[in-house]
Structure 1
Amino acid sequence: MSVGLTTARGHPSREQRLPTDLAAVDAAWLQGVLRHCYPGIAITAMEVVEIIQGHTTKVRVAVTGSDPAVLPGRLCLKSNWSGSPLSGEANVNEARFYKDLCEGLQLPAPHCFYADWDDDADGKQGLLVLEDMEGWDGKFGTSAEPITIDQAMRGVAALATLHASTWADPRLDAAGWLQRAMAPDHAGDDYWAMMADHYDKVNRLPERVAMFPAWFANDPQKLRDAWLQLCAHDMADTSPLCLVHGDAHLGNSYGLGDGGRLFLDWQIVRKGHPWRDYSYFAAGSITIADRRAGERDLLKHYLSVLAQHGIVIDFDTAWTEYRRWIVWGLVSWQSNINPKEATLPSLERFCVAAKDLKIDELYNV
């Protein structure tokens, strides 16, 4: 694993900046950047198969001329070609993750063939060249469509393996760019601070207020108070840190044909405590009825996989943290502005979980 401090470019030998305009992306350009990692590789033609717009743009391409033993004929290019500067930092963060932290990890993620970035006074831009997952025998997840308990068991096992394989790993601190989850000196996790006007609006919508826990419905500021308490609690927790995906919801996942699960969009990857991933995925990925019936068994399974890797956490401690971190789901789904991810189904799951698990008893609200 090659881990470095913050650098201005992923491949310092690259002279030209990464393009911010999709029109500049062609076979010659792709060949040029790939040669920083694969000297002599040839890309004689590139056909755009599909363009998927979002916070960042994903472009599925078919390429010819490359050695299939080195690079497949179908690839997915991902970069901030949306024209919005807001995705630049997250885009760079994901590129650094793939280039600096993936080697040797038991990572539930698609394979990345090339990662690069620009990060300097002239701007932030990241680039990933990933395997194209279309045509696989699995299914891309959507947050509105819950999975079964059995599928969730496989999902939390994948997260447990990620967490255990990076538990107290000194390489996390050595990666100077890797942010500490919930840190007060970085606003990247504090959606409320970044989107105050948005929260003021959505916290008043009748269809949302109707599902809120009473303490939140009566005073939306109390969720903000709970969030700040969660941040303070997490920063005071001296237990070991691990690598966390940071945004482990179903819409950022892919269900494999064999029942396993990969996680996509590592844009807010962090070093932190595992409950941020666990609680968000476990409570947000299954129906309310399945959660009520199976959430204790789900947590026991997660802990058993950790234990297989030598990480032992008692159930009562884990159960309290699982409950506490429901606040992350409430805040996150109140902030959702992605039109491709329906807000209300996931928000309802967390609102009902907050009531069932009486999370207000853990907070001064």
Structure 2
Amino acid sequence: MANKYPGVAARGMETVQLLNSHTTKWRVKVDWNEAGLAAGLPANLCLKANWSGSFDNVDIHAVEARFYHFLASEMKVPTANCYYADWDDDGSAHGLLVLEDLNDRGGHFGHSTQHSGVDMIASNLEGLAGLHASLWGSEKISKANAPWLQTQMDTPVDSDQVRIMWQWIADNLNDPNFRAIAPKHYLDDPRRVERAFDRLGELERAYDAPYCIALGDCHQGNTYILPGGERLWLDWQLVRRGRPWRDLTYFLVGSLTIEERRAHHRDLLKQYLSYLTETGVPGIPSFEEIWEQTRLWVMYGIQAWVANHDSWGQNGLPMNERFFAAGEELGTWKILLGE
């Protein structure tokens, strides 16, 4: 911390809570010296890194640290206050964040299966549109100016996600509860998800549209609801130079019950389009194009949740039900596999 705040030192530190999932979240209480107090460093902090021993074959930790260091201040939506971000450039892809302890904000963390209701989700779309508009078409996120920022579906952590996560997909395929809700055509040929996801990547890489910042893992469990109801967007480990349809589809299909999606999906997409248009960014596609992109991007949610383990903190079965239903009803499998 003294690299950024000269003279700062911790006189003592105690553990408040330690959480290990994809990454380690270590809530601590720090007794700062006078320099730390003068710098305004809070006593309650959350350290985030990979001390769990899991997922050491991907670079998500360094990516998130770079986001907070280089781009978080550019976002026009709330993000967690970051007091320090650093990473290793030795190929290990390790990163470390020193974040505020959001519990001090007086709100609450979101959860993937929280029933927020259509009205709240509609309101949250304004923030999501603001997130995407923040650096829409900006040279700041170009390959020349942000070479560390990976392009959506054009980096192994995206394009090889099914293969990276296959051992957890295989575990779920042996779970009777999972098998009870999965489509028969998928159970008969589980590698269909790999082929469909590969095709989604091909289509995205060929797609011609402005780039923006995409959160990448945009479900309710990666948000914090402020006391006034606004969402603070968390977990930038999969942040990408991308297009918004991955975030938009993942958030909407995952946040709504199946019945809510059937009744309100198109209207909510139109609401998002209205919010995005109000920001004044150029090159926004038509509603019809957004709808077609949404039908494709349901596959991102399918492949993500078939690999989920409840021990990571998010309940998988309700999310699998929502994405499986959307995939059947919106024709996602048929479009991507040509069947």
Instruction: Give TM-score scaled by structure 1 length.
Output: 0.84
Distance, in Å, in 1 between the alignment partners of 2:176 and 2:247 is 29
Q: Which amino acid aligns with 2:64?
A: E
Match of 1:53 in 2: 20
Separation (CA, whole Å) in 2 of partners of 1:88 and 1:80? 11
| Corresponding position of 1:128 | 97
Q: Cα RMSD over matched residues?
A: 2.1
**Corresponding residue of 2:63:** 93
1:1-365 alignment, distance < 5 Å: 34-64=1-31, 65=33, 66-67=36-37, 70-84=40-54, 86=56, 89-121=59-91, 123-173=92-142, 174-183=145-154, 186-203=156-173, 205-311=175-281, 312-337=284-309, 339=311, 340-363=313-336, 364-365=338-339
CA distance in structure 2 between the aligned counterparts of 1:220 and 1:87, rounded to whole angstroms: 24
DSSP 3-state at the match of 2:28: strand
Tell me how far apart the structure 1 counterparts of residues 115 and 8 of structure 2 sit (CA, whole Å). Answer: 42
Distance 1:68 1:338 in 2: 42
Q: Which ranges of structure 2 fall in alignment gaps of 5 or more residues?
A: none
> What is the CA-CA distance between 1:221 and the residue it aligns to?
2.9
Between 1:311-320 and 1:189-198, the stretch displaced more is: 189-198
Contact kept in structure 2, 1:80 and 1:125, CA below 8 Å: yes
Query: How many angstroms apart in 2 are the aligned matches of 1:191 and 1:55?
Result: 14
What are structure 1's unaligned runs of at least 5 residues?
1-33
In structure 1, the residue corresponding to 2:88 is in which secondary structure?
strand
Deviation at 1:359, TM superposition (A): 2.2
1:138: Cα distance to partner? Answer: 1.7
Partners of 1:182 and 1:231 within 8 A in 2: yes
For residues 162 and 140 of structure 1, do their structure 2 counterparts lie closer, same or farther at Cα, with a shift above 3 Å needed? same
Deviation digits for residues 206-227 of structure 1, max 9, x if unmatched?
4333323454344333322221
Query: For structure 1, which segment, 40-49 or 111-120, has the greater mean C-alpha deviation from structure 2 after superposition?
Result: 40-49
Other structure's SS at 2:213 match: strand
2-structure distance, mates of 1:246, 1:228: 17
Amino acid at match of 1:108: P
Aligned pair count?
A: 330
Is this contact kept in 1: 2:23–2:52, CA < 8 A?
yes
Distance of 1:45 and 1:155 partners within structure 2: 39
Q: Is the 8 A contact 1:151 1:260 kept in 2?
A: no
- Which digits, 9 at most, give the CA deviation of each residue in 1:105-145, with x for residues without a partner? 21432111110111205x33211111111143322111132
Change (3 A) 1:360 1:85: closer
Distance in 2 separating the partners of 1:47 and 1:341: 27
Rounded Cα–Cα distance in structure 2 between residues aligned with 1:79 and 1:193 = 24
Q: TM-score, normalised by structure 2?
A: 0.90
Aligned-partner residue type, residue 152 of structure 2: A
8 Å Cα contact 1:156-1:281 kept in structure 2: no
Q: How far apart in 2 are the matches of 1:60 and 1:197?
A: 30
1:257-311 Cα offsets, whole Å, 9 max, x none, are: 2111112111111111111111001000121122122212211111111101123
Q: Distance in 2 between matches of 1:95 and 1:281?
A: 23
